Amino acid sequence: MKKVCVIANAGKKKAEETAERVCSFFCQRGIECSVFFEDFSEQASYHYNEAMTDGAECAVVLGGDGTLIRAAGRLAAQKIPVLGINLGNLGFLTSAECAGAEEALEALVSGGYRVEERMMLEVSVGGKVFDTALNDAVITRSGYSRIISVSVFVNDKPVCTYRGDGVIIATPTGSTGYNLSAGGPVVVPTTELILVTPICPHSLNARGILVSGEDEVRLVVQEEKKTQDEEAYVTVDGQNAKKLAAEDQIVIRRSAEKAYFVQLNERSFFDVLHRKLGRKEYF
């Protein structure tokens, strides 16, 4: 490995200290290292250009899951894998905790890792591409809307209409996020599926569905109140939001791009699942 970049969330405690440790680790081994401090509280600030990361063989991301998702999505076009070191709370997607950063970096430079490809979703609104989701696209009611109705079509075939707080369209990577909290299934992140999960459905028989990564999901926001201009919002990866009016259509399909995650060889998805979200004594 000849070159790496470090992307640190400036809003996290110990970000500067950890970035210095990581950079020093690589420099001592003759590996070129560039460090970028990002203020993720301002959306425009994390659009670093390709010249900053050009030639990097890996990006070490210092922050929580949100930081890692943003970085992985924006580095996908360059096919740069990301290694996450958790400076946040849960850190489900990150590969190591701050205290174990050096061990993770040793594994990285010694080749004790694998790179996982993760599918992403292309989100279009009104016939125009709006954004790309690594985690999920969420359609939720606006602040003044009591309940919204969202009709779901798969490959232009009607499936169902959910009435409630909204609908989550998630990738397998995003299955352990909002989808899990809403009662959706946990999916191994390297699979290629699209999850459709209703949020607080106002029905006794509403259920989520899983479709193939080859399928196209179309959602239509139905009119609930004629006096209401904005019925809902679509939010991608918890970052980029757009207002939706009645009859707006959102089309979601697999993106041509993929994100790349560094996984340490001794860790499996289920190891992380049990440690972060379960209780060890049950297994």
Q: What is the DSSP string of 82-108?
A: EEEEE-SS--SS-SEEGGGHHHHHHHH
> How would DSSP label each residue in 12-55?
STTHHHHHHHHHHHHHTTT-EEEEEEE-TTSGGGG---HHHHTT
Spatial separation of the C-alpha atoms in residues 188 and 172, rounded to whole Å = 6
Three-class secondary structure of residue 207 per DSSP: coil
Q: In Å, how far from its chain's centre is CA 66?
A: 7
Pair 121, 255: CB distance under 8 Å = yes
Could you list the active site residues?
65
Phi, psi for 87 (deg, rounded to 5): -115, 5
